[in-house]
Amino acid sequence: MDLGANFAAKLEPFLLMAKSAKGAAAAKLIHDATSAPGVYVFSELLAMPSVQELGKSEQHEPYLSLLQLFAYKTYQDYVQHQDKLPALNPAQIMKLKHLSIVSLAAERRILPYSDLLRVLDMPTVRELEDLVIDAIYLDVVRGKLDQKEAQFEVEYTMGRDLEPGKLESILAALQNWTETTSAVLATLDVKIESIAAQTAAKKASNEEYEKVLYTTLKDVSEKAKEKGGVKRGSNRGDGGPSAEKDGVPMDVDDMPEPTKGKNRKASQEAVPKQRKRNKI
């Protein structure tokens, strides 16, 4: 269920009673509606003819102003004009402070404790945190209390009634938001196209580089094979066997013959003489 989706249902009994309430009864109905748990929207009640007629009576006009206060104003507005408004009971004060948090959250997402303490006239941080926790449980706001940073991080809030004359400013803000969003999306599209073009160019460059590298390696490999084949297959002009000495090619016929005699004697001396056995 969406945040605050049941608030309209909580107001329904008061709308039924307002159809027949007049004068003092309508004034009491406003007092009861602003005190009732779970009632946080008042535009439909405010639009009832019997409620609007209270503005014509000097005695009951403050109750119409009270209903307007709960519809779209804040606790600070009550403090500034409380001499012209009926006195509030504790339930009404707490509800008006909850609605004030909603109004503050519409302006910024991070609400420092220092600002909340001042605007809501809370004596201690502990009481302020209890007030915010109550608002969260009542589905008025959603968020997280950050005690380390001393702030309330707002995630979502219910919507408040729209004050007369504010529709134009809301539409202007929405129009400005739409134009800003469109400009950001256009910038992102250009950036995405640029990145795609750069990626394609880089890919083509890499493919060309790999192609040239492959061709070069293939040529080097073929030349190496050709050189190796010539060296292994080299022969004398007359077809006879050949050999190398100290890296210089030479024919087998040119190789020196072993020296006779001297080498033979050396080979005989290399064989150890056998000891003669003693004859018995």
Confidence (pLDDT) at 163? 75
Structural tokens at position 37: 């748990």
Identify the band that residue 255 occupies on the pLDDT scale cut at 50, 70 and 90: very low
> What is the percent of the chain with per-residue pLDDT over 70, rounded to a whole number?
78
Strand partners, 153: 110, 144
Instruction: Look at 31-40, 75-84, 188-197, 256-265 and tell me which has the smallest mean pLDDT.
Output: 256-265
Is pLDDT at 224 greater than 60 in this prediction?
A: yes
Percent share of the chain, pLDDT over 90: 50
Q: pLDDT at position 253, please? A: 46
Residue pointed to by tokens 């997402």: 109
pLDDT in tens, 54-111: 998 889 999 999 999 999 999 999 999 999 999 999 999 999 999 999 999 988 899 9
Structure tokens at 27: 């004034």
Pick the more confident residue, 206 or 232.
Answer: 206
The answer, yes or no, to whether residue 140 has pLDDT greater than 60, is yes
Whose CA is closest to 66, among 82, 80, 49? 82
What is the predicted pLDDT for the residue at 6? Answer: 75
**Lowest mean pLDDT segment, chosen from 33-37, 152-156, 258-262:** 258-262
Q: For residue 244, what are its two tokens?
A: 């190398």
Q: What is the mean pLDDT of residues 191-213?
A: 90
Is 44 within 8 Å of 50 (Cβ atoms)?
A: no
The arrangement of strands across the sheet holding 110-112 comes to 110-112, 151-157, 141-146
Burial of 99 (C-beta count, 10 Å sphere; 0-12/13-18/19+):
buried
pLDDT class of 227 with cuts at 50, 70, 90: confident
Of residues 172 and 176, more confidently modeled: 176
Q: Which of 35, 37, 41, 38 is nearest to 15 (CA)?
A: 41
> Is 31 within 8 Å of 86 (Cβ atoms)?
yes
pLDDT score of 7 more than 50: yes
What is the model's pLDDT at position 159? Answer: 84
Q: Residue 234 — left, alpha, or beta (φ > 0 → left; ψ -120 to 50 → alpha)?
A: beta
pLDDT at 111: 94
Write down the pLDDT at residue 230. 55
User: Which long-range CB contacts under 8 A does 19-23 form with residues at least 24 apart?
Assistant: 19/48, 19/50, 20/50, 21/50, 22/50, 22/53, 23/54, 23/57, 23/60
Q: What is the pLDDT of residues 21-43, one digit of tens each?
A: 889 999 999 999 999 999 999 98
CB atoms inside a 10 Å sphere around CB 239: 7
- Cα within 13 Å of Cα(13), Cβ side: 10
pTM of the complete model beyond 0.75:
no
